[in-house]
Amino acid sequence: MKNSVSSAPKDKYQVDAFFAGVGGIELGFEQTGKFRIIYANEFDKNARITYKLNHPDIPLDGSDIHTVDPYGIPECDVIMGGFPCQAFSIAGYRKGFEDERGDLFFELLKMIKAKEPQAIFIENVKNMVTHDHGNTFKIIREALVVNGYYIKWKVLNGKDYGNIPQNRERIYIVGFKTKKQLDDFSFPEEKELTKTLRDIIDFTAVVDDKYYYKEGRQNFYDKLEKAITSQETVYQWRRQYVRENKSGVVPTLTANMGTGGHNVPLILTDDRRIRKLTPKETFNAQGYPENFKLPQDMANGQLYKQAGNSVVVPVIKRIAKRIAKSLDENPAFEDSYHDSDRGSYALIYVNVNGRYDGYSYVDAYFNDEKDVEEYVKDQRLKLLSDEEYLKLVQKGKSDTFYMIEEI
């Protein structure tokens, strides 16, 4: 096991990025002025076109992550990525890591293990916490902490934490190499939503005819015309009915919007016509800056997919600023971790504040399961079995407890 990279406060922290998409996470980190992306990996060829258009100086690797040599990527201070959430084996971390199908989280974990960055940043869908009755997130959490990271996670909504009028809940996981770094990090507080739909959508513009819904063009137009009456909200056609987003913000953007007339965000323009958002407006709804470029010759379906797969950039930026502050004030040192510190069993501390907020780390390592059980008994620690933990998650309760994981 390689020692952690020594790092004093520096001009910019170096980042290796995976599942880069069009570079939304990288953009949020770069906007802080504290991070420099030195390597990015993205397999989707269309996403790479948009990425290169906006990040021409960042080395972009188009390889399938399964083929990337973990020891061939640059040394870095941070590894980050928003991996697609695939099914996880209920057999746990060890079996999942050895699974020949190569679940994408474990491919990212290979990079983390090889480089041992000071910090890690992971973004994913909110439902990852409850996927497979809570077992998926349990595997991810345990895998990160037994590999030497102190982690915090929280579900944040873009409209509440990014001042962006989109209802987008995502889980963010931040990990550090030392407990002091973790203790000094906190997720940003809620902030007032001051931006409106008109800040991201041009209700006055006359756009290309293909964006408008018309009588005779859509066989469900009569239902749209009857339901879409307000400019204070955004609507969606949901196969059989019109859904009004009553919170007055853009509903969660999805990768399949813009295809087949399903889930497309719809508005009533100033000239009283019904149209869907343009690709540029969907990127606006993710908080991308005005100067972010979209390829002119790319199909709209691909652009909608890229926006739907992306992130709320201002939320990323706020979290990244907190990460940089913790790293500045608590540099990691080369002797932080050694293989000799690890035993065959890990006693993992877990603190959950409801279903979507918590932190965790390895409290101690033991060479024998009986030793850890005796320690738990002597210290009168609350120990949960896997079954008890999953029940706790499903009920969404808050608690502090310990778990034992064989390494």
The C-alpha torsion from 184 through 190 and 191 to 197, rounded to 10°, is: 130
Strand segments, DSSP code E, in 1-71 are 13-18, 35-41, 60-61
Report d(CA 157, CA 163) in Å as an integer.
Answer: 10
Exposure on the CB side of residue 295, measured as CA atoms within 13 A: 21
Residue 346: φ, ψ to 5°: -115, 135
As to burial, measured by CB atoms within 10 angstroms (0-12 exposed, 13-18 middle, 19+ buried), residue 318 is buried
CA distance 158 to 287: 9
Amino acid at 359: Y
- Selecting among 22, 85, 128, 140, the annotated active-site residue is 85
Would you tell me how many other CB atoms lie within 10 Å of the CB of residue 323? Answer: 26
Please confirm, yes or no, whether 85 is among the known catalytic residues.
Answer: yes
Measured in whole angstroms, the distance separating CA 277 from the mean position of its chain's CA atoms is: 24
Secondary structure (3-state) at 255:
coil
Pairing of strands 242-244, 235-237: antiparallel
Which residues are tagged catalytic?
85
